[in-house]
């Protein structure tokens, strides 16, 4: 509280700009606008000082007439000026005659009129001026009494007004304290509710975030498990590929063995061809000898005509020999039939082998189908993981390159084989054209007829199969087109659904972002409003403290401050309303956000369901497409085989037609030469013996070859049986291992599901425990905050009460000081009036002036 003291009088505030000493007392009514008492007291003192100054001026004007009084006043005022420089003092004396407003009394007392004389010690210049302007006219006592009475009346009115203002202030203080209590009670009730609400929202957000984190961790673990499963499947596929690569050399070795056997057969055939060429050379020599013999026979015909009788006898013997040779020929035919039966048996064995090879091819195709199924599974796995797809594509490219290389090699080998076959057939045709005899030609004609019939049947069958294959190809192409159309439609549907889902996700994201922005803006506005509110509260507190500190200045601007306070209250109310509106908007936005999140989750569920329903259809279609591709490949392979067989059949048919033509020409020639052969039989006996020897050698060779062939077939059969047993054992072991693997996999899946359920329960329990702990901590914090709040509030209320008590005590002290000042003023006025009535003041002034004049300068 600033100290309350009386302000000293200042001459500069009273003197006019012109320097004239004439003053008129103007009544100022500015105190009526002020409710505090201290300025009115100061103004009363100021008016008293003005009256004193006015009286002194009047006294100085009349000082020429009463110089003696001036000396006395100088003697009296000199010590006062030495003690308190630049100050004016007034002394009032109580009048002996009571004041009466009648004119008669005024006339009676005019002789003893009231006069005030005095001067203030300021400086030497002021003393010189005082010496020159002394002893002027005196003021009338009636005016002085009127002014003093008016002044006292105004002081009494001010005192009553201050008492009323004090009561108003007390009532206002009571109302304000009541409002503060109500606001504090309301805050006590509403603040915990708001804190609890905010705590619940924070706990909900934390639990939601924890759920999202756990969900993403579960998805990550599932993706890792899928990656591991894909890696395991990839390893198994690599093992299967390595197994196929490992066992491919066995098949290649088998092919090499068969090729070597074919090479051996070809070498033996070449050897037989050499022997046949040697036999042809011998036949040529025999024909030359025969020609020589004919020449000799022509020469000796003349001689033989004589010996015909003897020859006829010999002819009968020769006929017997001929019958014997025919019997031998039939025996030879039987052996040839036996050899043909053996060849047919060998053909049956070849057909059996071909069937086995076809079965092996079917097994290979099954393996290929299995590989393709595995490739489908790999594609499904690749659809889930990108890295496995890349590895699979690399492996498929390598496999395709291997297949292409193998196909190129096979095509080259087949071309070489065809070229060799062509050369061999040409050589065989040339050899057969040259070597076959009449008997062999007849048998060959029969066999050719049969072969032609078989070839025709086969050609018809091949034509039927070709038509069937074309029909299947058409059906397959139609199925492929339908499947491709369905696949394209499904892809378009998937793309549309994906675009829709992306659009929905983008819209939801944009809406959520907008809502978040709005929430952030509302929170910022909330913080700004709270800061403004706090600022306003601090400003109000500061204003109150400054009002307490600067009460003197605030008296002039009290109305303005009241208006500002009213405006601030209105602004606070408006800000509170805005704050409540913003809270309502925040709650509405949170509700909208929850609704949007629910819609987002529902749309995600719908899209995932649609995706889950479309994915198996797509997989089925891909599997069917792969099966159709495999079927198409098989049909293309069969078509290539059929085309090759047809080409071979056309080549063989042309060759057979050539042979038939040559055979018919040979038959015609042989019919002409039959007569000549009967003559040649005589010479054929010698050649027959040589041929018998060669035939025995050929039969021995054939037996040896049969033995070798049987040994080879027995070895191959053993190898085949061993391979079949190994395959059977491996298949059984694979079945057992697969069953064990399935059982273990199911157990592993069950354990994993149990573990995941346990882990989910654990995570839920941990989350609930954490939430419970957090709630306990927050409740403890809230209780401690409320305790501190109540403690601070009690301290604040106590401090306010003490401050109020101090202010009231200060006000009482000020009022007592004002009362004392008023008493002193009244005493001074009374003394001044007495001195004016008695004339003692004028005498003292006169004496003081005289003493001052008598003192040497």
Alpha carbons 610 and 604: distance in angstroms, whole number: 10
CA-closest candidate to residue 24, choices 43, 63, 50: 50
Alpha carbons 416 and 583: distance in angstroms, whole number: 92
Pairs from 346-351 (Cβ < 8 Å, separation ≥ 24): 346/709, 349/713
Calculate mean pLDDT across residues 681-687.
68
| Dihedral sign, Cα of residue 172, residue 177, residue 181, residue 183 | positive
Calculate mean pLDDT across residues 161-187.
87
pLDDT at 815: 82
CA-closest candidate to residue 218, choices 629, 742, 753, 620: 753
The percentage of residues in the chain with a pLDDT greater than 70, rounded to a whole number, is 55
pLDDT at 106: 39
Which one-letter DSSP state was computed for residue 133? T
**Range of lowest pLDDT (111-115, 272-276, 557-561, 654-658):** 111-115
pLDDT at 108: 36
**pLDDT greater at residue 493 or residue 755:** 755
pLDDT at 71: 45
pLDDT at 847: 77
pLDDT at 259: 78
Rg (CA), the chain: 72
State pTM to two decimals. 0.20
pLDDT at 789: 81
Calculate mean pLDDT across residues 246-268.
75
pLDDT at 90: 39
pLDDT at 537: 67
Residue 746 has pLDDT above 50, yes or no: yes
Residue 584 has pLDDT above 70, yes or no: yes
Is the distance from CB of 512 to CB of 611 less than 8 angstroms? no
Contacting residues for 206 by C-beta, under 8 A, at least 6 apart: 771, 774
547-561 burial string, b = 16+ CB within 10 Å, else e? eeeebeebbeebeee
pLDDT at 511: 65
Alpha carbons 413 and 443: distance in angstroms, whole number: 35
CA-closest candidate to residue 364, choices 559, 146, 633: 633
Residue 778 has pLDDT above 80, yes or no: yes
Give the confidence band of 711 by pLDDT, cuts at 50, 70, 90. confident
H or E stretch covering 63: strand 62-63
Alpha carbons 556 and 563: distance in angstroms, whole number: 13
Calculate mean pLDDT across residues 661-670.
69
| Structural domains of the chain sorted by starting position, each given as residue range(s) with its CATH number in brackets | 27-293+771-857 (no CATH), 438-550+565-677 (1.10.287)
pLDDT at 823: 84
Is the distance from CB of 52 to CB of 836 less than 8 angstroms? no
Per residue in 66-81, pLDDT (tens digit) is 444 444 444 434 433 4
Residue 218 has pLDDT above 70, yes or no: yes
Calculate mean pLDDT across residues 604-633.
72
Residue 802 has pLDDT above 80, yes or no: yes
pLDDT at 134: 46
Which one-letter DSSP state was computed for residue 117? -
Per residue in 426-450, pLDDT (tens digit) is 776 766 666 666 666 667 667 767 7
**pLDDT greater at residue 75 or residue 815:** 815
Calculate mean pLDDT across residues 226-249.
79
DSSP string, 502-521: HHHHHHHHHHHHHHHHHHHH
**Range of lowest pLDDT (81-95, 299-313, 396-410, 527-541):** 81-95
Residue 605 has pLDDT above 80, yes or no: no
**pLDDT greater at residue 220 or residue 332:** 220
Is the distance from CB of 579 to CB of 529 less than 8 angstroms? yes
Is the distance from CB of 5 to CB of 821 less than 8 angstroms? no
pLDDT at 73: 42
Write the burial class of residue 91 (CB in 10 Å: 0-12 exposed, 13-18 middle, 19+ buried): buried
Length of the chain: 857
Strand partners, 298: none
pLDDT at 833: 76
pLDDT at 566: 67
Phi, psi (rounded to 5 degrees) for 476: -65, -40
pLDDT at 120: 42
pLDDT at 19: 41
pLDDT at 317: 75
Per residue in 378-398, pLDDT (tens digit) is 666 566 666 656 666 776 777
**pLDDT greater at residue 398 or residue 3:** 398
pLDDT at 394: 72
């Amino acid at each position: 509280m600033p100290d309350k003291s009386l302000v000293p009088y200042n001459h500069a505030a009273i003197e006019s700009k012109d320097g004239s000493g004439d003053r008129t007392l103007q009544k100022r009514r500015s105190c009526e606008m002020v409710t505090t008492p201290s300025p009115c007291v100061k103004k009363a003192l100021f008016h008293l000082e003005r009256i004193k100054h006015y009286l002194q001026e009047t006294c100085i004007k009349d000082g020429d007439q009463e110089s003696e009084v001036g000396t006395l006043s100088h003697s009296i005022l000199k010590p006062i000026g030495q003690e308190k420089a630049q100050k004016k003092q007034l002394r009032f004396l109580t009048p002996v005659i009571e004041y009466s407003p009648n004119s008669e009394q005024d006339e009676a007392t005019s002789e003893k009129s009231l006069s005030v004389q005095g001067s203030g010690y300021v400086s030497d210049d002021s003393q010189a001026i005082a010496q020159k302007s002394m002893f002027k006219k005196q003021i009338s006592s009636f005016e002085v009494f009127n002014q003093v009475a008016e002044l006292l009346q105004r002081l009494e009115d001010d005192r009553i007004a201050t008492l009323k203002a004090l009561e108003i202030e007390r009532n206002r203080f009571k109302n304000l304290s009541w409002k503060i209590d109500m606001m504090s009670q309301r805050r006590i009730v509403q603040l915990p509710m708001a804190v609890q609400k905010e705590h619940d929202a924070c706990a909900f957000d934390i639990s939601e975030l924890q759920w999202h984190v756990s969900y993403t961790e579960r998805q990550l673990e599932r993706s890792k498990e899928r990656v591991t499963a894909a890696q395991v499947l990839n390893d198994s596929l690599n093992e299967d590929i390595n197994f196929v690569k490992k066992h491919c050399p066995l098949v290649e070795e088998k092919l090499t063995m068969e090729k070597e056997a074919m090479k051996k057969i070809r070498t033996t055939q070449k050897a037989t061809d050499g022997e046949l060429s040697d036999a042809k050379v011998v036949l040529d020599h025999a024909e030359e000898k025969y020609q020589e013999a004919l020449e000799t026979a022509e020469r000796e015909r003349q001689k033989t005509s004589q010996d015909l009788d003897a020859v006829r006898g010999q002819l009968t013997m020769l006929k017997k020999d001929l019958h014997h040779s025919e019997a031998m020929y039939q025996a030879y035919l039987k052996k040839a039939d036996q050899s043909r039966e053996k060849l047919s048996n060998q053909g049956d064995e070849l057909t059996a082998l071909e069937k086995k090879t076809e079965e092996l091819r079917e097994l290979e195709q099954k393996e290929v189908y299995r590989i393709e199924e595995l490739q489908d599974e790999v594609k499904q796995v690749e659809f889930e993981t990108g890295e496995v797809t890349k590895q699979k594509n690399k492996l498929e490219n390598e496999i395709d390159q291997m297949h292409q290389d193998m196909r190129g090699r096979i095509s080259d080998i087949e071309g070489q084989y065809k070229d060799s076959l062509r050369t061999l057939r040409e050589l065989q045709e040339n050899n057969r054209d040259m070597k076959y005899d009449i008997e062999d030609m007849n048998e060959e004609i029969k066999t050719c007829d049969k072969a032609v019939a078989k070839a025709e049947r086969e050609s018809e069958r091949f034509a039927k199969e070709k038509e069937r294959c074309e029909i299947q190809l058409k059906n397959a192409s139609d199925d492929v087109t339908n499947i491709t159309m369905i696949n394209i439609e499904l892809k378009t549907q998937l793309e549309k659904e994906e675009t829709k889902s992306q659009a929905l996700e983008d819209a939801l994201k944009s809406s959520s972002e907008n809502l978040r922005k709005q929430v952030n803006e509302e929170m910022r506005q909330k913080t700004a409003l709270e800061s403004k509110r706090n600022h306003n509260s601090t400003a109000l507190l500061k204003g109150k403290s400054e009002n307490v500190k600067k009460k003197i200045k605030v008296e002039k601007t009290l109305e303005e401050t009241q208006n500002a306070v009213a405006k601030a209250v209105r602004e606070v109310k408006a800000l509170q309303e805005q704050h409540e509106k913003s809270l309502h908007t925040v709650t509405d936005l949170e509700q909208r956000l929850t609704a949007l999140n629910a819609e987002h989750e529902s749309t995600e569920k719908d899209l995932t369901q649609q995706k889950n329903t479309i994915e198996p259809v797509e997989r089925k279609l891909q599997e069917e497409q792969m099966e159709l591709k495999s079927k198409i490949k098989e049909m293309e392979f069969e078509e290539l085989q059929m085309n090759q067989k047809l080409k071979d059949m056309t080549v063989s048919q042309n060759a057979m037609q050539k042979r038939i033509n040559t055979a018919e020409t040979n038959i015609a020639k042989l019919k002409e030469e039959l007569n000549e052969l009967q003559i040649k039989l005589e010479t054929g006996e010698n050649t027959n013996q040589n041929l018998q020897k060669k035939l025995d050698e050929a039969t021995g060779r054939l037996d040896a070859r049969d033995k070798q062939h049987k040994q080879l077939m027995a070895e191959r059969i053993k190898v085949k049986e061993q391979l079949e047993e190994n395959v059977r054992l491996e298949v059984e072991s694979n079945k057992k291992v697969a069953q064990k693997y399935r059982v273990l996999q199911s157990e592993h899946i069950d354990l994993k599901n149990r573990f995941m359920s346990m882990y989910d329960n654990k995570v839920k329990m941990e989350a609930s425990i954490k939430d419970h702990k957090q709630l306990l901590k927050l409740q403890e914090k809230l209780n401690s905050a409320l305790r501190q709040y109540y403690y601070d509030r009690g301290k604040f209320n106590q401090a306010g009460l003490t401050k109020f008590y101090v202010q009231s005590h200060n006000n009482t002290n000020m009022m007592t000081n004002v009362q004392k000042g008023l008493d002193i003023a009244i005493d001074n006025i009374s003394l001044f009036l007495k001195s004016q009535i008695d004339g003692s003041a004028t005498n003292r002034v006169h004496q003081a002036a005289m003493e001052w004049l008598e003192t040497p300068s």
